């Protein structure tokens, strides 16, 4: 039987929906019983091979190797993260932005920083932001409300599997609706206040843009908790620190209070931005404290 290729976009209780661009549209697929016995469990984002059966349904035959796998939301083959923020209403703090960037670096996915609501800020305010991040990250300034620069954002998303991240209120769902009316991000659990932390039984879903490409309906990194990074490796998640590897007097310098620290020299000279370095120190201390707590429990 002819084997076709598609992407899993959604799960039902007994089957899953697969998008096959050659056919166009979604197709309900079942899973062969042997998958369960072999411990094979497809997830959203998986590229699969399937065969068409007589009743217009498909049957998954195999899962192609996963390029990447994100745990929250659980989704495979994500190619990029769109970090959405705004500089007014709300003014997202640099520390929050830096946490998102560390989380993205940890999962080794490229980030595009989408600065939304540029209709609310002037050039100088945008330039100040660009000076901090522009050298190391791709920045795409947009206004979903005034429809500014949306064509560029569309180019970024076209043909790829992406996930959005960013605090609530920055305009993630507005952006999707401006790009493709009818698309909607799921309301995040956290914003529901009293029900905080409650588990959802629904799974993540991939939404398909009319212009081609997919986006997860659930924002990534909703709780902003730092992953299990060894404090000494945090520098790898800051490109401007990572690129100076080996330049400090001590090869194992963590750039906190060691003598001959080249990173600190660059901070003082202004070529590493002080707000980035402050974020680095805060997160370093947080990871260090966590490490000490764990060590303490071992003996206590
Ligand atoms: P989300 O929580 O990130 O999905 O944010 P929403 O899409 O719900 O947007 C939050 C608020 O910001 C809404 O009141 C939007 O109307 C507003 N908003 C979104 N985009 C823009 C924009 O480009 N400019 C302005 N001024 N407001 C915007
Ligand atoms: Zn150093």
| Cβ 177 under 6 angstroms from ligand 1 | no
| Cβ 144 under 6 angstroms from ligand 1 | yes
**What proportions of the chain, in percent to the nearest 5, are helix, strand and coil?**
35, 20, 45
By alpha-carbon position, which residue is closest to atom 25 of ligand 1?
Answer: 117
Strand 206-208 vs strand 214-216: parallel, antiparallel, or unpaired?
antiparallel
Cα distances (angstroms) measured from residue 268 to each of 90, 201, 238, 271, 290:
30, 50, 17, 8, 29
CA 249 to chain centre: 35
147-184 confidence digits (pLDDT tens): 999 999 999 999 999 999 999 999 999 999 999 998 87
Q: Which atom of ligand 1 is nearest to the CA of 177?
A: 7
Ligand 1 centroid to Cα of residue 170, in Å, is 6
Residues whose CB falls within 8 Å of the CB of residue 297, separated by 6 or more in sequence, listed in order:
none
- Ligand 1 pocket test: pick from 87, 169, 171, 181 the residue with the most ligand atoms within 8 Å of its Cβ: 171
Ligand nearest, relative to CA of residue 121: 1
Among 258, 215, 243, 230, smallest CA distance to 75 is for 215
Helix (H) or strand (E) holding 127: helix 123-133
| Cβ 120 under 6 angstroms from ligand 1 | yes
3-state secondary structure (DSSP) of residue 279: helix
141-156 confidence digits (pLDDT tens): 999 999 999 999 999 9
Helix (H) or strand (E) holding 102: helix 94-106
- The per-residue pLDDT for 207 is 95
**Does position 251 have pLDDT exceeding 70, yes or no?**
yes
Q: Which atom of ligand 1 is nearest to the CA of 120?
A: 26
Ligand nearest, relative to CA of residue 87: 1
Q: Is-contact 68 160, C-beta < 8 A?
A: no
> Rounded to the nearest 10 degrees, how much is the dihedral formed by the CA atoms of 104, 105, 108, 112?
60
260-289 confidence digits (pLDDT tens): 999 999 999 999 999 999 999 999 999 999
Taking every pair of Cα atoms in the chain, the longest distance, rounded to a whole number of angstroms, is 72
Q: What is the DSSP letter of 166?
A: -
187-224 confidence digits (pLDDT tens): 655 444 444 444 444 679 999 999 999 999 999 998 89
Ligand 1 centroid to Cα of residue 165, in Å, is 14
- Domains of the chain listed by start with CATH number: 3-65 (2.40.50.140), 70-217 (3.40.50.300), 231-293 (1.10.40.50)
Ligand 1 centroid to Cα of residue 210, in Å, is 22
């Amino acid at each position: 039987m002819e084997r076709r290729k598609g992407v899993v976009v959604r799960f039902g209780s007994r089957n899953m929906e697969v998008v096959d661009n050659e056919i166009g549209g979604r197709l309900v697929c079942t899973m062969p019983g042997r998958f369960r016995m072999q411990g094979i469990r497809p997830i959203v984002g998986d590229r699969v091979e399937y065969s068409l059966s007589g009743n217009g349904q498909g049957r998954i035959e195999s899962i192609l190797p996963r390029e990447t796998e994100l745990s929250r939301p659980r989704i495979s083959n994500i190619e990029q993260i769109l970090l959405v923020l705004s500089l007014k209403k709300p003014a997202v703090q640099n520390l929050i932005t830096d946490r998102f960037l560390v989380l993205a670096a940890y999962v080794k996915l490229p980030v595009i920083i989408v600065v939304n609501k540029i209709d609310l800020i002037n050039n100088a305010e945008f330039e100040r932001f660009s000076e901090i991040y522009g050298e190391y990250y791709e920045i795409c300034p947009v206004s979903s409300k005034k429809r500014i620069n949306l064509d560029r954002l569309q180019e970024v998303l076209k043909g790829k599997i992406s996930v959005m991240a960013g605090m609530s209120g920055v305009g993630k769902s507005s952006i999707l609706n401006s790009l493709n009316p009818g698309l909607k991000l799921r309301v995040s659990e956290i914003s529901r206040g009293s029900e905080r932390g409650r588990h959802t039984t629904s799974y993540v879903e991939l939404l398909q843009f009319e212009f081609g490409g997919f986006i997860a309906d659930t924002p990534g990194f909703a709780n902003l908790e730092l992953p299990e990074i060894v404090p000494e490796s945090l520098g790898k998640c800051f490109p401007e620190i990572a690129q100076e590897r080996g330049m400090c007097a001590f090869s194992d310098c963590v750039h906190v209070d060691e003598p001959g620290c080249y990173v600190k020299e660059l901070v003082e000279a202004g070529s590493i931005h002080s707000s980035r370095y402050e974020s680095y120190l805060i997160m370093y201390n947080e990871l260090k404290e966590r490490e000490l707590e764990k060590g303490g429990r071992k003996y206590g």
